[in-house]
Amino acid sequence: MTTGAYVRLGRLATRVSRLWLGTVNFSGRVEDDDALWLMDEALDRGINCVDTADIYGWRVHKGHTEELVGRWLAKSGRRDDVVLATKVGGEMSERVNDGGLSARHIVTACEQSLRRLGVECIDLYQMHRIDRAAPWDEVWQAMENLVASGKVCYVGSSNFAGWHISEAQASAHRRNTLGLASEQLLYNLAVRHAELEVLPAARHHGLATLAWSPLHGGLLSGVLGKLAAGTAVKSAQGRAQVLLPALRPAIEEYEAFCARIGHPPAEVGLSWVLSRPGITGAVIGPRTVEHLDSALRATELRLDDEQLAELDRIFPPVGRGGPGPEAWAD
């Protein structure tokens, strides 16, 4: 079983799998040896994108997951098969300048990520979140220097608002540079606000869009059935646990719908995300090879118009649906 066809990274020529192997569960929820094996299995199944961040591994120490990915790249000898993505901007320590998107931190953090990953170039260097204190000229100056020196290939964003994307691109265009290649955004059936402005902005500017938490931390993976059976792990904590009380009636309908059409909730939820206009791919966080295979099956599942309409009824889009301002204005 493989991911099937590859797609372009937004408006750019690099080709990527529709599933990206997210590593946020490594270094704490997945033992290191199991994580190394999962990366091998993902690559063998056609997933060519590995997504991490400098702060990942905080359950052990920040940077541990990049170190783990670096060990895997060195051991596997398949660096050229991987589109390697990491992130910058999180607080790495209590030191006053050891976080954010100052030019000083971007350059220093990139050097540290390169060392931990054991590579000469990061394919996609993503700003983990907006830094309101950092002017775009400062951000782009640092990123341009990293690209010019061959340490970064593309620059991406994560958790940006639509207007942040447009502002970033306007600044990059004034400097005659490529600007953003991608936006990584929270998007799933239960949380659809990105449809209003983030997805339209990304599509307008030709950015790839990568949905993180496509099952909302397990909320859409059959949480009620797992809780009843006593098998819930991730879906019994975190963002899934926070949202479950408010969405329990919808989740009950959703799990009944999935049972009726004969597909597991995790595969239905991921298939829905991958079917959405403008979505390039989804960042998955499997803890086992069974989770990985389930995600791969979701890439082959095609929901028909009637099923998609039923999911819209269970999890209505924000406002009147579609992009703003039409979604909320008369």
- 7-8/180-186 β-pairing: unpaired
Contact present, 158 and 183 (Cβ < 8 Å): yes
Average of per-residue pLDDT across 127-141:
98
pLDDT at position 111 is 98
pLDDT for position 234: 59
Residue 240 is predicted with a pLDDT of 85
Closest by CA to 215, choosing from 261, 262, 260, 282, is 282
The answer to whether residue 325 sits within a structural domain is: no
d(CA 87, CA 134): 16
Does pLDDT of 87 surpass 70? yes
Please give the share of the chain, as a percent, with pLDDT higher than 70: 97
In a domain, 216, yes or no: yes
Measure the CA–CA gap between 235 and 224, rounded to whole angstroms.
9
Look at residue 330 and tell me if it is in a domain: no
Task: Give the pLDDT confidence score for residue 1 in this predicted structure.
Answer: 47
User: Token pair 């403008």 is at which residue?
Assistant: 278
Q: Contact at 8 Å (CB) between 140 and 177?
A: yes
pLDDT of residue 238: 75
In a domain, 70, yes or no: yes
CA–CA gap between residue 187 and residue 156 (Å, rounded): 17
Categorize the per-residue pLDDT at 233 as very low, low, confident or very high, splitting at 50, 70 and 90.
Answer: low
Q: Does residue 327 lie in a domain region?
A: no
pLDDT-derived band at 235, boundaries 50, 70, 90: low
Whole-number average pLDDT of the chain:
95
Burial class (CB within 10 angstroms; exposed 0-12, middle 13-18, buried 19+) of 132: exposed
**What is the span of the domain harbouring residue 97?**
14-314
Q: Would you say residue 274 lies in a domain?
A: yes
CA angle (58 as vertex; 55, 61 as ends), nearest 5: 100
Q: Structural domain tally of the chain?
A: 1
Q: Average pLDDT, stretch 115-132?
A: 98
Q: Is residue 23 part of a domain?
A: yes
User: Domain containing 188 — which CATH number?
Assistant: 3.20.20.100
Question: Any catalytic annotation for residue 187?
Answer: no
pLDDT at 232 > cutoff 70:
no
Predicted pLDDT at 309: 98
Instruction: Give the bridge partners for 88, in sequence order.
Output: 127
Q: Is residue 170 part of a domain?
A: yes
Which pair of structure tokens corresponds to residue 152? 């970064």
Half-sphere exposure of 279 (CA within 13 A, CB side): 26
Check 56, 125, 154, 254 and give the catalytic one. Answer: 56
More confident position, 229 or 256: 256
In the three-class reduction of DSSP (H, G, I as helix; E, B as strand; rest coil), residue 204 is classed as: helix
